[in-house]
Amino acid sequence: MRSVHCVLIVSALLTGLLAAPASAAPATNYVALGDSFSSGNGAGAYSGGDCHRSANAYPVLHAAQAGATSFTHAACSGAVTEDVLADQVTELSPGTTLVTLTIGGNDVGFSKAMTICSIPVKRVLCKQAVADGLAELPALSGKLDDAYAAIRQAAPAARLVVLGYPHLFELGTCLHKLTEVLVEDRKVINDATDQLDRLIADRAQAAGARFVDVRDTFAGHGACGDSPWINEVNLAAVFESYHPNAAGHRGGYLAALTAAIG
């Protein structure tokens, strides 16, 4: 009888263990902040008015892939660090668990430089425009520190992931000759991107954030390449020029983010 009693107890324990529900996965409350490289400017299927938030943008794709419990797409085309502080950090809360961010390019005037470098009568000023932007890097350092600190304060439990910028160009022949950026200027622009990314990585790491370098995932896919993930000048929608297309967000940004954090 004792052996039967033991068997019944063990059987009941096993039944209870097998019937016990698996522990629920922790909630992912995700907020995407930043500029046009996070809003999805260039990738089509827009909402958000002038913010050009795309359904094809990497934050939207990551939220779906990760099965996020909640997702807020606060990134906006043209944003600078001040906009993140004034308009975007307010979307965060103590319950936010993941924040992604691209910011800094507009603070150093890359949009202005790209416009100058693409207009034939202004190309002689391209290198100087890029140099003028790089002169703003020391000021950007403190602005990044302020932005990261504000994010930490608003969402103290969140994982902060800062993504960099890709090289915009390959050195092959562009499709649009009229607006083709000279090869020597493309090299200068790509070199400037390296300097910008180094600063962003340094300040992100100082803030305890994870920096995700996307240059390797975009390698070979810049504008004027055989398989571009960066748009050349689009005269029908100029705002899309020199921004990642849908393939760039999926194959470049999303792939790099997934490799970094899963």
Tokens of 62: 């990551």
Catalytic residue among 36, 54, 111, 241: 36
Determine the longest span between alpha carbons in the chain, in angstroms.
99
Count Cα neighbours of 245 within 13 Å in the Cβ-side half-sphere. Answer: 14
pLDDT band at 5 (very low <50, low <70, confident <90, very high): very low
User: Any catalytic annotation for residue 141?
Assistant: no
Catalytic residue among 62, 73, 221, 243: 243
Residue 12 lies in a domain: no
The mean per-residue pLDDT over the stretch 9-21 comes to 40
Residue 1 lies in a domain: no
Task: Determine which of 21-25, 179-183, 206-210, 240-244 has the lowest per-residue pLDDT on average.
Answer: 21-25
| pLDDT value at residue 2 | 43
Enumerate the β-bridge partners of residue 162.
Answer: 101, 211
* DSSP strand pairing (46-47 vs 53-54): antiparallel
pLDDT band at 10 (very low <50, low <70, confident <90, very high): very low
User: What is the rounded CA–CA span in Å between residue 123 and residue 202?
Assistant: 32
Residue 13 lies in a domain: no
Q: Whose structure tokens read 């070979």?
A: 220
User: Any catalytic annotation for residue 62?
Assistant: no
Residue 94 lies in a domain: yes
CATH number for the domain spanning 57: value is 3.40.50.1110
Enumerate the β-bridge partners of residue 70.
Answer: 29
Residue 61 lies in a domain: yes
- Please, where are the H alpha helices in 20-154? 36-39, 58-66, 81-83, 110-118, 126-134, 137-154
Residue 10 lies in a domain: no
Residue 72 lies in a domain: yes
Tokens of 237: 């929608």
Strand, coil or helix: 139: helix
All residues at 6 or more sequence positions from 15 whose CB lies less than 8 Å from its CB, including other chains: none
What is the tally of structural domains in the chain? 1
Please state, for a pLDDT cut of 70, what percent of the chain lies above it: 90
Distances (CA, A) of 112 to 69, 102, 117, 132, 174: 38, 18, 9, 10, 20
The mean per-residue pLDDT over the stretch 99-121 comes to 96
Boundaries of domain holding 203: 25-261
pLDDT band at 27 (very low <50, low <70, confident <90, very high): confident
User: What is the rounded CA–CA span in Å between residue 10 and residue 5?
Assistant: 9
Residue 233 lies in a domain: yes
The mean per-residue pLDDT over the stretch 29-42 comes to 98
